Amino acid sequence: MNQKKMKRKKNEINRARNFSIVIYIILILGAVAIGFVRDYSIVKNMVNIVTAVVCGILVQCFYTHSGGKYIRELHSEILCFFGLAITIVLIFLYGYEFVGGLWLISVAVISVIDGMKHGMIFYFLSMVQYVLYATDYIQSSKKILYYLVLGAVVVLIFAENSIKELLYSTIAMIALSAVLLIIQFGFDVTLLKENKTYLIIQIMSSFVIAFTAFFVRYMFEQFGKIKCLCVEDTEKMSNLLESDYELIRRLQAFSANLFIHSMRVSVMSMRVSQKMGYNSLLAKAGGMYHEIGRIKKEENYVEATNDIAYAYDFPKCLTDLILQVCDKDEKPESREAMVVMLSDSIVSMIEYFEKNTDKSRPSKEKLIESVFANRQKKGNFDNCDISEKEIEGIKETYKNINMDF
């Protein structure tokens, strides 16, 4: 197990190193291309290239210092590469056309998809590119300060938000942008009127940034890319579900009852997900491992679950799912997590009545209605961005599926 863990850690460090190399290449190519087009002096070109190398070193230190942990959190490295390249192109356009704060668009997208840590890294990279290549066309240091604050705001209000929260973030982004612009012009109404076009472009660019972040997050969720991105994840989950897999045998040896319960939740989650068109493999694996932390017999059950997920190299989508289900302070953020949570509740109730035969067992329909009403009352569906109609569809699916295990 230790050898596997060491090998996995080494692979993650190599992945972090390769990721950093591509960042180096994008930054250096950007510096060379802009220097060539704008006919910079040799000295200025060297300053820009050296700055690009320093930025690359900082990125490499960040992603390799964590032992590969941070690179593992990224949903899409290609998105990061593409986002940084777009940032450099948009900043380059400053010399020809004013585009407002559009160059912060990749910062918003990376923040909403990958979280605050990664958002801050790309905010730093973007801000350095802006200072290097756009300040030649800026007459006021207040404009630099405006973007310095706006960029930080973008990361803070978009990081790790659900779809529902992003709607509020969009409003907050536009409002804060307007406030910062008013401050930039010192509350001078005359100056604000004189710079009306500038203000409109800035406000519109803030709206475009917010809308793009919302749209990308929505598309990622709709097409499952924020849950599982690659064939490798699918293969890992298939292996995790093999009957002779080490962790399944550990679960079975730890408690036959817990093993049977997990199997039931797994099968039920898979059946419902198949009927609803969700990721049935993710739901099946989530059901199988939603209480895996119990085998460590530790006081902090959630932390134990996370440790096991890391030790056995669970795909991030699976780790997120089981943590959302097992942590009572969390709420499911995906449809698959919601299905596993509901299946767990339904199976638990069925098992309760199986053990307590003296109790009057309600009908299948009433049992399911009770579980849904209880979960809805607790607000467990709030972070899933799911309509009442779809919830009713899931409920009917539970009522119609075969619950014989």
Residue 237 CB contacts under 8 Å (≥ 6 apart), including other chains: 228, 281, 282, 284, 285, 315, 318
Distance of alpha carbon 59 from alpha carbon 53, whole angstroms = 10
Which 3-state string (H, E, C) describes 153-189?
Answer: HHHHHHCCCCHHHHHHHHHHHHHHHHHHHHHHCCCCH
Domain C-terminal end among 207, 232, 257: 232
For residue 18, report the phi and psi dihedrals to the nearest 5 degrees. -65, -40
Are 261 and 317 in a shared domain? Answer: yes
Give domain status of residue 327, yes or no.
yes
In a domain, 26, yes or no: no
On whether both 123 and 168 belong to a single domain, the answer is: yes
Confidence of residue 340 (pLDDT cuts 50, 70, 90): very high
User: Does 9 reside within a domain?
Assistant: no
Number of domains in the chain: 2
* Residue range of the domain that includes 208: 73-232
Task: Specify the pLDDT at position 226.
Answer: 47
Looking at residue 294, what DSSP letter applies?
G
In a domain, 108, yes or no: yes
Q: Which CATH number goes with the domain that contains 311? A: 1.10.3210
- Token reading at 158: 């978009």
In CATH, what number is assigned to the domain containing residue 118?
A: 1.10.1760
Q: Taking all residues of the chain, what is their mean pLDDT, rounded to a whole number?
A: 86
**Distance separating alpha carbons of residues 286 and 95, to the nearest angstrom:** 51
pLDDT digits (tens, 9 = 90+) for 30-88: 999 999 999 999 999 999 999 999 999 999 888 887 666 677 777 778 889 999 999 99
Each residue's pLDDT tens digit, 132-188: 888 776 666 778 888 889 899 899 888 866 666 778 888 888 898 889 889 888 888
Whether residue 333 lies inside any domain: the answer is yes
Q: Please check whether residues 223 and 162 belong to one and the same domain.
A: yes
DSSP-based three-state secondary structure for 51: helix
Does the residue 21 lie in any domain? no
Q: Is residue 249 part of a domain?
A: yes
Task: Calculate the CA 189 to chain-centre distance.
Answer: 41
- For residues 192 and 253, membership in a common domain is answered with no
- DSSP string covering 87-126, please? HHHHHHGGGTS--TTGGGHHHHHHHHHH-HHHHHHHHHHH
Average pLDDT over residues 280-300: 90
Task: Give me the amino acid identity at 286.
Answer: G
Residue 348's identity, in one-letter code, is S
The mean per-residue pLDDT over the stretch 368-382 comes to: 90
In the chain, the N- to C-terminal Cα span, in Å, equals 33
Residue 372's pLDDT is: 94
The answer for residues whose C-beta is within 8 angstroms of residue 236's C-beta and 6 or more apart is: 313, 314, 315
Least confident stretch, 18-27, 161-170, 326-335: 161-170
Give the model's pLDDT for residue 125: 94
Q: Are 279 and 195 in contact (CB under 8 A)?
A: no
Residue 180 sits in the same domain as residue 91: yes
Question: Per-residue pLDDT for 385 more than 80?
Answer: no
Of 90 and 329, the structure prediction assigns the larger pLDDT to 90
Shared-domain flag, residues 200 and 348: no
